[in-house]
Amino acid sequence: MNAVLPLLLRVNVLQSWRRLKAVREQSKLLTSLIGAFVVGYISLSFWLFYRGLKFISGFPGMGDFLIERLLFLLFAFLFVLLLFSNLVIGYTNFFRNRETAFLLTLPVPAQTVFRWKFIESAALASWAFLFLIAPLLAAYGLKSHVPWHFYFITILLVALFIVLPAVAGSWAAVNLARHLDRRAFQVIAVIGTVALLVGARVWLKPEPLDTADTELRVMDMLDRLMMKTQFSQFPALPSYWLAASVQNWAEGARATAGFFLFVLTSHVLFFGFLAFTRMGKLFFDAASVVQSRGSVLWQWQWFRDWQGRRGSFDYGRGFAERAAGLLRWIRPDVRALVVKDARMFWRDTTQWGQTLMLFGLLAVYIINLRHFTRQLSNPFWVYLVSYLNLAACALNLATLTTRFVFPQFSLEGKRLWIIGMAPLGLPRVLKTKFALATAASLTVTLGLMTLSCRMLKLPWERTLYFAATIAVMTFALNGLAVGLGALYPNLKEDNPGKIVSGFGGTFCLVLSFLYIVASVILLALGSPWGRLGLNAPWTIALAQAAFVALSFGVGWLPLRMGLRRVAVFEH
């Protein structure tokens, strides 16, 4: 049995390598485009990190201190994000994965299955962290003029660091699966969430700056910033051990760096040993509980009464059917498809779990945006921040469409032939998915844009202008995601995270990023309230026409190609 884990590792690595080779053989142009994007991102982010560190180091008397605090703060936030990422992906991989269910039926120890899924979940949850942190550490090393061995030690430190949130996330996922249906656990979770939100609201509450002197105002703001970020210096945090080791090794304090390296290593060995030797039984019990229970909401008495259930086998029209029945101008078969997609999304706890995490990050963004607006007095900075806010909202939209809209066609899986044989037809299915995704994302993006513009205290004409802009981008990005989802389907996978991690999802994310960058630049140069001397009427009309044409091409062409592709599926 000890040979099963190496066999699983070898088979999956070989499959990944063959899929990569197959993608390269299918379209060298697309592969080259993604490769150029990766290289361009790494180069650009390295240059921006380096220039930012150089700029911060120029602060008289505080440059090195600010860089140190930012380094500790960044690793602290990344540790929290890695923990949530491992929790969400681990729950999906452990309990909502067909491979896991298949392996548990084989004469393979549950501990071995857990080990393999733990390794896979940690890799899926951590690759983006490595992709983000590599240019920063390289820029920090270049700025600090570190010796060559700094980079090898840093690689070792990062490799050790990602193990701890992986262990904590897997432990939290297993316990969440075991106790999710218990009323006490649900009450504690709700109370804890409310307490966390209230605490964040009090902690992040902005305080007015009383002094009118610019220099004193800046110093007062920096002092408050240091006080608010003092938590990142807590010595018991794993992020503190990583940041302290990186900083001390760069400064030549090898003994102190080695101490924190050994602290990190000892914790990784201890908790990693516990996960690899003691989590198998808990994982098997949790998997049994998940597979044997129904919906968590269905256990609530008030929910059953609200649904009007009379008997154990009385399956009348539910809330989703009643709500869809109000849309009488929509064909009944289309309403049935909308109800099916809505229920599939609601029943998949990993889907709305990631949605809640994303909206939590948006709440933090809005709270900090309100605090930031108190410092804006120059019209140029108001203009710049308003377009940066547009870029932030568009990037959030691209995250939603890539993560949740792109996999929708692939999630039909082996049931696709049933829908293909229905009178509805696959092209109309794709159009319905596009309409549903666009309507849902418009609700989010228009609300986010309106709220953020009001936080920035923009006049109503500018708010309407940015709302119309984000609406056009919503149609374009949803068309891109739905079209590419039909052009590059993965009907063998039921995990949305793995579907998005494939070639099609990566290509969708790259095109979305490039479209957002090009659109924001066009709109900023051709803005009616421009500050760059390019606000002539013909310049404004040309820039906005180019934006509309670009949006039409990005949204309509992939959707049209996807409709033609699914029409071929029926024949």
Nearest to 247 by CA among 66, 50, 83: 66
Picking from 96-105, 150-159, 368-377, which range would have the lowest pLDDT averaged per residue? 368-377
pLDDT (average), residues 3-10? 86
Please give the Cα distance from 258 to 268 (Å, whole number).
Answer: 15
Q: Give the pLDDT score at 502.
A: 72
Locate 426 and state its tokens.
Answer: 């696959």
Q: What percent of the chain has pLDDT over 90?
A: 14
Confidence of residue 533 (pLDDT cuts 50, 70, 90): very low
Picking from 44-53, 222-231, 316-325, 503-512, which range would have the lowest pLDDT averaged per residue? 316-325
Q: What percent of the chain has pLDDT over 70?
A: 73
pLDDT (average), residues 343-369? 65
Q: Give the pLDDT score at 267.
A: 94
Q: Which residue has the higher pLDDT, 372 or 211?
A: 372
Confidence of residue 244 (pLDDT cuts 50, 70, 90): very high
Q: Which residue has the higher pLDDT, 190 or 250?
A: 250
Written in H, E and C, the secondary structure of 425-475 is CHHHHHHHHHHHHHHHHHHHHHHHHHHHHHHCCCCHHHHHHHHHHHHHHHH
Confidence of residue 310 (pLDDT cuts 50, 70, 90): very low
Using DSSP's 3-state secondary structure scheme, residue 188 falls into helix
Residue that is written with structure tokens 């400064």 in the block:
251
Q: Give the pLDDT score at 450.
A: 85
Confidence of residue 298 (pLDDT cuts 50, 70, 90): very low
Picking from 132-141, 163-172, 385-394, 548-557, which range would have the lowest pLDDT averaged per residue? 385-394
Locate 553 and state its tokens.
Answer: 């091409």
Please, what is the average pLDDT of the chain?
A: 78
pLDDT, one tens digit per residue, over 412-444 is: 777 776 776 766 777 888 888 888 888 888 888
pLDDT (average), residues 391-404? 85
Confidence of residue 510 (pLDDT cuts 50, 70, 90): confident
Task: Classify residue 297 by its DSSP letter.
Answer: G
Q: Give the pLDDT score at 217.
A: 52
Written in H, E and C, the secondary structure of 390-429 is HHHHHHHHHHHHHHHHHHHCHHHHHHHHHHHHCCCCHHHH
Picking from 17-21, 317-321, 409-413, which range would have the lowest pLDDT averaged per residue? 317-321
Please give the Cα distance from 250 to 371 (Å, whole number).
Answer: 34
pLDDT (average), residues 86-93? 85
pLDDT, one tens digit per residue, over 312-354 is: 444 456 666 666 666 666 677 677 777 777 777 766 655 656 6
Q: Give the pLDDT score at 347.
A: 64
Picking from 114-123, 514-523, 532-541, 548-557, which range would have the lowest pLDDT averaged per residue? 532-541
Cα dihedral sign for 520, 521, 526, 530? Answer: positive
Q: What angle do CA 527, 391, 458 make, to 5 degrees?
A: 55
Locate 480 and state its tokens.
Answer: 């891109």
CA 354, distance to chain mean position in Å, is 8
pLDDT (average), residues 350-362? 64
Q: Give the pLDDT score at 261.
A: 93
Task: Classify residue 318 by its DSSP letter.
Answer: -
Q: Give the pLDDT score at 62.
A: 76
Q: Give the pLDDT score at 391.
A: 86
* Residues 480/515, Cβ–Cβ less than 8 Å: yes
Q: Using the predicted structure, report yes or no on whether residue 532 has a pLDDT greater than 50.
A: no
Q: Give the pLDDT score at 368.
A: 64
Confidence of residue 24 (pLDDT cuts 50, 70, 90): low
Using DSSP's 3-state secondary structure scheme, residue 50 falls into helix
Confidence of residue 25 (pLDDT cuts 50, 70, 90): low
Using DSSP's 3-state secondary structure scheme, residue 13 falls into helix
Q: Give the pLDDT score at 189.
A: 63
Picking from 50-59, 238-247, 300-309, 330-339, which range would have the lowest pLDDT averaged per residue? 300-309
Q: Give the pLDDT score at 245.
A: 93
